[in-house]
Amino acid sequence: MKPLVLLSRKPWIWSFVAAFIVWSATILFTGGASTIGLSQAALTFAAFSILVGIGQMFVITLGPGNIDLCVPATMTLAGTIALKFMQVDDSLILPGLFIAIAIGVAVGIGNYALIRLLQIPPIIATLSMSFIVQSTAIWTNRGLRIKPPETLASFTTETTAGIPNVALVALTLSVCAFALLHLTVYGRWISAIGQNIRAARMAGIPVDGARFVTYVLCSVLAAICGYLLASFSGGAALNMGSEYLLMSIAVVVIGGTAVAGGNSNVPGIWGASLFMFLVVSMLNTYGAGAGIRLIMTGLIIIAVIVVAGGRNPHQR
Amino acid sequence: MTTAPLPHAVIEVADVKISFGAVKALDGVTLRIVPGECVGLVGHNGAGKSTVVNIINGALSPQEGTIACAGERVPRYGIAAARANGVRCVFQELSLCPNLTVIENTRIMHGTLKGWGWRRRAARIIGSKLDEIFPGHGIDPTDTVSDLSIAQRQMVEIATAFSQVAQPVKLVILDEPTSSLDATLATQLLGYVRSFVTAGGSVIFISHILSEILSTSDRIVVMKDGKVVTERPAVEFDEHSLVAAMGSVVKGHDREKRAEGAAGRTPLLSRPSLHGKGLPFEVFPGEIVGLAGLGGHGQTDMLIDLYLGHTSNWLRRREAEVAFVAGDRTLNGVFPLWNILKNLTIADLAGLSRKGIVNETAEADLGHAWKERIDIRTQDLDNPILSLSGGNQQKVLFARALATPAPAVLMDDPMRGVDIGTKQEVYAILRAEADKGRAFVWYSTEMDEVCLCDRVYVFNNGVIVAELKGDAVTEKNVLAASFTGIAA
């Protein structure tokens, strides 16, 4: 009984409960036939949301007003340029990854430069940055769809011991993010900044430095996600990032991270990402039309947030 | 104190007590205001002047004691009852709505201005009152308040309080009304106050400019530590005796003050005089330096400037040079979502980590050491910080700063709302740390604390106007210096 009570106090548990219920409902409807296929698909697609979600979570932890709306554009630009650079050549896979990361770093620097030097609120700074980045992507891409190198394409689409490779990548990065958040000085700093930015400054925390690193980190994760997603879907497309704008924010919120900042959690992003994919596939399985599907998705998200919010003792 | 049965006291508060947590703001205050007198209310910061004002204008309810208007006890005295009895207040912080016009602000204070043509009537009322108090004021009642200067706003505020719309104005409380007025306007106001009083009105006048108090008041009430300590006709006071009355008996201190010469030593922190005005500031190792003067005269700003100047916003220096103890806990002290331990160790993470990873064992050890040393009253340092009382939260903030290796500690009136027992514990720790060579810069609004310091800088209007050393640090000298103008 006691462990159950303790578990129910964790803000992230509700996203997992919701994901499990939706998963079971879908499996029951199909009579168990699609168990493995559905689970693998869920893990694969959730992996991309997890990567961008973690980056967004770090930014949201910085407190009210902090958000990165440049995520989709960064994904597109990183995917486009990396694939163009690799020229379907297997030997350039790693250099391509580095190029994607470098693009992430550059976008992150640009974002924080706008926020800090021009004193623009993050929501507007990152939105304007996303126009610049997206236009650069359009300019480099010129409507061509470049294929990824063979080895990279198969890596992103295959599984290891039944688990999709991209999910393993997401798991590795999640563990790193968890450690960064809970074990390091940097993790303490961003949590402190999110709770009370003035107190953080007066406690000797280098507020600008920590915020800068966080915005860069978010862009780098988005760039890695773009690199993997472009390889997974057989080429970079200009609209490949668009659905990840709301997705990255939704998984953070459903996952139980405090929107007001200062309190974040990594496990919740997994539950929320799985849940977001499973809801859509459940409604698809039930044969719901596009309109109904969107309405239902919205209602279910609201329901999860209400339930999780009502039980969260740390809620402010 | 007069006990003669004057029949028509405008307002009479009797034996009023009120405390905020551990702090006794008012400890049995009795005050009687009769028609046709101006009562000057003086006392240093935290003496309880504003609390008395808030009791009389109905914003605060006393926990003990009674309030009577015109000889009748009013059991449920509140803001509405105060206004109905003709009590008006001009606040220290300006209370006008900046986005509205002067007319509209008049309407807010006077709810009875309504129906057709209220703007016209309000304009006439406020306009004529402004003309009466401040001839040649140059304010158009249709002006938006945000377009007015600070002095003009203060004039509007004063005129609004004196304006009579429905109920007659019997008592006007002026809390530091001349702080933003120049000499001419202040003279106009004081002249009007005298004529208002001669016509039978009553005024409670609060000011830190003692000459104004002495020239305008009929009677002066001196407050200290939530009590009325002296109450005499104004003619019996002069500036010197008034300052003496505001102070208390100087107590003996057990600490030897360091008064050795500063020659040849390099200061830990220093700041040149501001724009060539006032004195420069410096602090040497092992010293406790006090910042005194009236509240909000630049002490906190200087502490924050010093702190920001010695820490970086971009990179953490390995060795911290300064640490800061917040006085305003919610604004720049506490991290509300965290437990006590994390709140305590946040400033010293550099010393508790290797390669960026926090050593949690060392962190817990440090926390327990300070829990013992400064006696943080909790069972478990894992409890949320907000579970502690204000005084214990303040101890955590002290421990946060003292746990760092920083050789200089800046303290921004950190004893606000802290009970006397905790204060004694903290004083002892400060002395022990200073003897080990640490320097403290201590802004305090409490005179007893200022007198504990080795050296005191007295502030007025953002600049340092006096420096007191060693035995010269006495309540009387500090008070006298607080009322000095800018020397240079």
* Closest residue, chain A, to B398 (C-alpha): A203
Question: Distance (Å) from the C-alpha of residue A299 to the closest C-alpha of chain B?
Answer: 30
Q: Could you tell me the pTM of the whole model?
A: 0.74
Q: Using CB atoms, pick whichever of B315, B331, B358 lies closest to residue A183.
A: B358
Residue with the larger pLDDT of the pair B462 and A217: A217
Q: How remote is the C-alpha of A209 from its chain's centroid?
A: 23
The pLDDT-based confidence of A313 (bands split at 50, 70, 90) is very low
Round to whole Å and give the CA distance between B155 and B138: 11
Structural tokens at position B85: 């009895």
Residue A265: its pLDDT value, please? 85
Long-range (24+ apart) CB contacts under 8 A made by B249-253 are B250/B451, B250/B474, B250/B475, B250/B476, B251/B448, B251/B451, B253/B451, B253/B452
Which of A29-33, A113-117, B123-127 has the weakest average pLDDT? Answer: A29-33
Residue B95: its pLDDT value, please? 78
- In terms of Cβ atoms closer than 10 Å to its own Cβ (0-12, 13-18, 19+), residue A8 is exposed
Which of A142-156, B278-292, B293-307, B410-424 has the weakest average pLDDT? Answer: B410-424
The pLDDT-based confidence of B289 (bands split at 50, 70, 90) is very high
Query: To the nearest whole number, what is the mean pLDDT of chain B?
Result: 83
Round to whole Å and give the CA distance between B312 and A208: 9
Chains A, B: CB pairs < 8 Å: 87
Question: Distance (Å) from the C-alpha of residue B375 to the closest C-alpha of chain A?
Answer: 22
Residue A35: its pLDDT value, please? 84
- For the domain covering A12-22+34-308, report its CATH number: 1.10.3470
Round to whole Å and give the CA distance between B333 and B326: 5
B341 interfaces chain A, CB cutoff of 8 Å: no
Residues of B within 8 A of A199 (CB-CB) are: 326, 331-335
Average pLDDT over residues B319-346: 89
Residues of B within 8 A of A192 (CB-CB) are: 335, 338, 346
Whether A206 and B315 lie within 8 Å, measured CB to CB: yes
Question: Distance (Å) from the C-alpha of residue A236 to the closest C-alpha of chain B?
Answer: 36
pLDDT at residue B300 above 90?
no
Whether A202 and B312 lie within 8 Å, measured CB to CB: no
* Closest residue, chain B, to A206 (C-alpha): B313
Round to whole Å and give the CA distance between B292 and B306: 17
pLDDT at residue B440 above 60?
yes
* Closest residue, chain B, to A197 (C-alpha): B332
A312 interfaces chain B, CB cutoff of 8 Å: no
Residue B248: its pLDDT value, please? 45
Average pLDDT over residues B20-31: 79
Query: To the nearest whole number, what is the mean pLDDT of chain A?
Result: 88
b (16+ CB within 10 A) / e for B294-312 = beebbbbebbbebbeebbe
Question: Distance (Å) from the C-alpha of residue B313 to the closest C-alpha of chain A?
Answer: 4
Round to whole Å and give the CA distance between B313 and A213: 13
B249 interfaces chain A, CB cutoff of 8 Å: no
Q: Which residues contact B36 (CB under 8 A, 6 or more apart)?
A: B197, B198, B199, B200, B201, B202
pLDDT at residue B253 above 60?
no
Write down how long chain A is: 316
pLDDT at residue A312 above 50?
no
Average pLDDT over residues A286-305: 81
| B73-120 pLDDT per residue, tens | 888 888 888 888 888 888 755 678 888 899 888 888 887 888 888 888
Whether B346 and A205 lie within 8 Å, measured CB to CB: yes
Question: Distance (Å) from the C-alpha of residue B363 to the closest C-alpha of chain A?
Answer: 12
Residue A308: its pLDDT value, please? 63
Round to whole Å and give the CA distance between B415 and A169: 52
Round to whole Å and give the CA distance between B194 and B179: 19
Question: Distance (Å) from the C-alpha of residue B281 to the closest C-alpha of chain A?
Answer: 21
Average pLDDT over residues A10-19: 83
Question: Distance (Å) from the C-alpha of residue B323 to the closest C-alpha of chain A?
Answer: 7
The pLDDT-based confidence of B59 (bands split at 50, 70, 90) is confident
pLDDT at residue A311 above 60?
no
Evaluate whether A165 touches A155 at the Cβ level (below 8 Å): yes
Residues of A within 8 A of B396 (CB-CB) are: none
Helix and strand numbers (H, E) in chain B are: 17, 20
Whether A184 and B356 lie within 8 Å, measured CB to CB: yes
Question: Distance (Å) from the C-alpha of residue A204 to the closest C-alpha of chain B?
Answer: 6
Residue with the larger pLDDT of the pair B455 and B245: B455
B315 interfaces chain A, CB cutoff of 8 Å: yes
Residue B22: its pLDDT value, please? 63
B144, amino acid identity:
T
Q: Which residues contact B32 (CB under 8 A, 6 or more apart)?
A: B2, B6, B9, B11, B12, B13
pLDDT at residue B256 above 60?
no
Q: Which of A9, A178, A182, A185 is most worth mutating to test chain B (most B CB atoms within 10 A of its CB)?
A: A185
Q: Using CB atoms, pick whichever of A183, A195, A204 lies closest to residue B335.
A: A195
Q: Using CB atoms, pick whichever of B313, B331, B357 lies closest to residue A198.
A: B331
A13 in the Ramachandran plot: left (φ > 0), alpha (ψ -120 to 50) or beta? alpha
Residue A131: its pLDDT value, please? 94
A58 interfaces chain B, CB cutoff of 8 Å: no
Average pLDDT over residues B141-157: 85
B394 interfaces chain A, CB cutoff of 8 Å: no
Residue with the larger pLDDT of the pair B47 and A250: A250
Rg of chain A taking only CA atoms, in angstroms: 19
Residues of A within 8 A of B313 (CB-CB) are: 201, 206-209
Residues of B within 8 A of A202 (CB-CB) are: 304, 307, 324, 326, 332-333
Can you list the alpha helix ranges (DSSP code H) found in B217-335? 239-246, 299-309, 329-332
Percentage of residues of chain B with pLDDT beyond 90: 17
Q: Using CB atoms, pick whichever of B312, B331, B353 lies closest to residue A206.
A: B312
A85 interfaces chain B, CB cutoff of 8 Å: no
| A91-104 pLDDT per residue, tens | 899 999 999 999 99
Structural tokens at position B451: 């007198």
Residue A208: its pLDDT value, please? 93
Evaluate whether B378 touches B388 at the Cβ level (below 8 Å): yes
The pLDDT-based confidence of A200 (bands split at 50, 70, 90) is very high
The pLDDT-based confidence of B26 (bands split at 50, 70, 90) is confident
